[in-house]
Amino acid sequence: MAKFLFVVSLALISVGIWLFLNAQTPGFPPQLDPNEWWGPLELRGKTDASIKPFEIRFGQEMIRDLKERLKNHREVMPPLEDVGFEYGFNSKQLDPWVKYWAEEYKFQEREKFFNKFPQFKTNIQGLDIHFIRVKPQVPAGVTTVPLLLMHGWPGSVREFYEAIPLLTKKADGYDFVFEVIVPSLPGYGFSDAAVRPGLGAGQMGVIFKNLMNRLGHKQYYVQGGDWGAGIGSSMATMFQNEVLGFHSNMLFVQNGWTSFKTMIGAFFPSLVVEPHLADRMYPLSRYFAYVLEEFGYFHLQATKPDTVGVALSDSPSGLLAYILEKFSTWTRFEHRSLKDGGLSYRFSKEQLIDNLMVYWSTNSITTSMRLYAETMSNKNRALGIDGYTTTVPTWALQAKNELFYQPPNILSSKFSNLLGVTVLDHGGHFLAFELPELFAKDVYKAVKAFKDSMMFRILLAVLVALVAVILVPLSYLYLKPAPPLPDIDLHEWWGSEILKDSVTEEIKPFKVQFSESMVKDLKERLRDRHPLAPPLEGVAFEYGFNSKQLETWLKYWAEEYPFRERENFFNKYPHFKTNIQGLDIHFIRVKPNVPAGTEVVPLLLLHGWPGSVREFYEAIPLLTAVSKDRNFAIELIVPSLPGYGFSSAAVRAGLGADKMAVVIRNLMQRLGFKKYYVQGGDWGSLIGKLMATFFPEEILGYHTNMPFPMSPWYTISTVLGSIFPSLVISADLQDRMYPLSKIYSNLLEETGYMHLQSTKPDTIGVALSDSPAGLAAYMLEKFSTWTRKQHRNLQDGGLTYRFTKDQLLDNVMVYFSTNSMTSAMRLYAESFNARYASLRLDEIPSPVPTISIQAKNELFYAPTWAITKKFPNLIRNTALGDGGHFLAFELPELFAKDVLKAIGEFRAWHKNNKTEL
């Protein structure tokens, strides 16, 4: 054992030394094209370089439309009982904000407030860039120095209005005062958006360097937070002879060496951070949990900005919830536990609505979110701008409640001339907005230090991967004994406590109905939707749902979708409801007509998100058909998951996939099925897997079209396989798992929604409930890229490759007609959390005979050996040469054929193993 520990320690030391010695990228940072054109090509060479005065205007038509939308916002899903902002914006708090915006916010007065500082526009590289420029009155003996102030998302130039007078007025003890230039980032508020892809943080740095040069400043100081910090960091790296000093209230360094050092600090904090600040970085488990909680928006906006942008552009109440929620938890994380989100802790309603007006009045939320996708693109990340050291004098201002903290010894690995760090015991992410006096005072202090410093500059860079000690945790995790099966409460109540003693076990017929009032409201919302941001030139579905294509879908939905005909279609199969554990559970039940001698066996079909029972309509007659080639026929039970469509939602927190498995199992018991087969994909796959884990004596066989091991040892094995693929998967299937860069890149691209729904479902739920256009974009985009990822490059997204418009809109109608999108998305938050993870349910083997089929275009592939770790009685694992995520919906014949075959194989397995069918 001593030898083993010595080898591990030596490996860690060696990796650390190697990372430290390779922490610098030789050479100079990339030189971006200073004249790259981001505007319409037909205007190239025709724009002038003049600087024109500009005034912010809130047009009467815009105000009228806004007020109508606010007053007509759709009823939102009520929050769960005893919940603050833990699930995102608490919908009970929405109405007071909406009412204030519509009835009390003084539009004309605030318009004048916005124009209190001189505003200008000038065309830089094809874009009309808006900026505020305030020149101070300079007394004798005082010099003026130029300061570029840059905001981030979801902020705007409005963040600096309280700080500007403080920065442009001489402060005691200083012989200089600032000329302040405050631009709107391209695509944000009053600045134009790019018309073609590629405008990331680095390219924005070029635009602002050109802006400062246009204003006559060859050298200047830079301050930035959020995206302003990223852009400022790029400018300090690329233009080291121009940037005199960089002050940031969100300074952050990310590279292999700093990550390694942070990980070491988890064991030895004193090696990394001062003891009194250790709680800002450790324990890492708490920090990573916080990042997961707060960064769902980042994931989604970095992959599908145009998709979520539809809903936020169409719904001012949705935009309000989406943006204001950040001013709650990013000011103090503890605000998430408050009923009102603590929004008035540091801000007035006017201040926050001012900031919203920047986005709404300019319809710029979509274009602003594109910055995430552009900066995180492979092309821009490959530039490696952040991998180079900058010698520009730098100062960090670190608020107590900022999203993350890094000590000076980490920050200095990039900012080699780090002159100072101000560590606050209060304050949050929007520091200039929240504490303008403190902010201005620190900027003065930093610039004085910059002016006094005479440090020379060196180049540095970082690119590392932590691979060395992978085998040790892998062996431990693989051999680690399975956890015990958790206690299962078969009667846990999810409905209203008031009704607990009054519900019955009655099974009642049910019909799907599209009411006249709902259809009328839907058509009006589609007709009166807000103008959509045009897509970038040459872009298909790479940024999410292409708004030009969306128009045709919305027109069809409003004018051609045959509501009554589709209502009748939905009711072609028998529907029922029954109350299980306080929830009215909807289900379809189809019994076959069988001749004598044919055994009827029950099959439970489970859907996922953003699907519904509609996914199975084409497969149902194929599955329930009687064939002379089989000695059995299938009776189908197809429930709507709790909170989805026609099934009611839990009124309190906690209904995760494990608890849902109990609800569905109790439904089968209620219907008289003591033993049955289960099929599931997406969430249906996980719920089916959990039913097989909790109730192995009841499940006769489990068939899934989305098997996925969810355990640490599998993740590490997959990473190891990137070095030796043949250890993990056969050569003919390696392209389904490797190279990891391609697989993970696609997962990052496609799972931003998951991150957001796992952390803030109620926030995005406001917009999706209020905007049918947003709901359609958000849902239909999944039927594009999840059917074939190549569809993202097609102008129409390939949506009609396997589906009709009626089919896809049927599925959207399940969510819209029931207003169930928010409650459906909560399943992510209830299942991807510490409580669920601590159960380690994927590590508990299930003896249930199992069969999996994996479509060619599924989001991921699981090899046979990995599935058998959970299901030792895996009968087969079929890799299909076709199909995508929604297999039953897309290829019902193939799906039904494999399910029928599987049930025959399960029956044979039970016979051979002499088990009781």
Tokens of 853: 């089929």
The answer to whether 676 is a known catalytic residue is no
Residue 419, φ and ψ in degrees, nearest 5 = -85, -25
Q: Which of 714, 815, 885, 898 is catalytic?
A: 885
Please report the sign of the dihedral spanned by the C-alpha atoms of residue 38, residue 41, residue 47, residue 52: negative
Question: In sequence order, which residues have a C-beta less than 8 Å from that of residue 861 and are 6 or more positions away?
Answer: 729, 733, 736, 737, 854, 879
- The three-point CA angle 364-195-111 to 5° equals 30
| Burial class of residue 128, CB neighbours in 10 A (0-12, 13-18, 19+) | middle
For the chain, the first-to-last Cα distance in angstroms comes to 50
Alpha-carbon Rg of the chain, whole angstroms?
29
Strands ordered across the beta sheet of 119-124: 52-54, 119-124, 127-134, 176-183, 143-150, 220-224, 243-248, 394-398, 418-423
The answer to whether 299 is a known catalytic residue is no
Beta bridge partners of 395: 247, 420
Among candidates 577, 572, 578, which has minimal Cα distance to 620? 572
Distance, CA of 769 to CA of 294 (rounded, Å): 22
**The one-letter amino acid at 210:** N
DSSP letter at 415 equals B
Tokens of 545: 């749902």
- State the alpha helices, DSSP H only, in 412-544: 431-434, 436-452, 471-479, 516-527
Tokens of 632: 């059995």
Beta bridge partners of 119: 54, 132
Distance, CA of 646 to CA of 730 (rounded, Å): 43
Q: Which residue has 């600090």 as its token pair? A: 265
Question: In sequence order, which residues have a C-beta less than 8 Å from that of residue 512 and are 6 or more positions away?
Answer: 567, 570, 571, 575, 646, 817
**Contact of 90 with 787, CB cutoff 8 Å:** no
Respond yes or no on whether the N-terminal peptide bond of residue 892 is cis (omega within 30° of 0): no
The answer to whether 828 is a known catalytic residue is yes
Q: Which of 221, 543, 753, 828 is catalytic?
A: 828
Among candidates 803, 797, 813, which has minimal Cα distance to 888? 803
Q: Which of 682, 762, 770, 898 is catalytic?
A: 682
Among candidates 643, 754, 648, 763, which has minimal Cα distance to 87? 763
Distance, CA of 803 to CA of 796 (rounded, Å): 13
- The DSSP line for 686-735 is HHHHHHHHH-TTTEEEEEES-----SHHHHHHHHHHTT-GGGTS-GGGGG
Q: How many Cβ atoms from other residues are within 10 Å of residue 675's Cβ?
A: 15
Report how far Cα 157 is from the mean position of its chain's Cα atoms: 25
Catalytic positions: 682, 828, 885
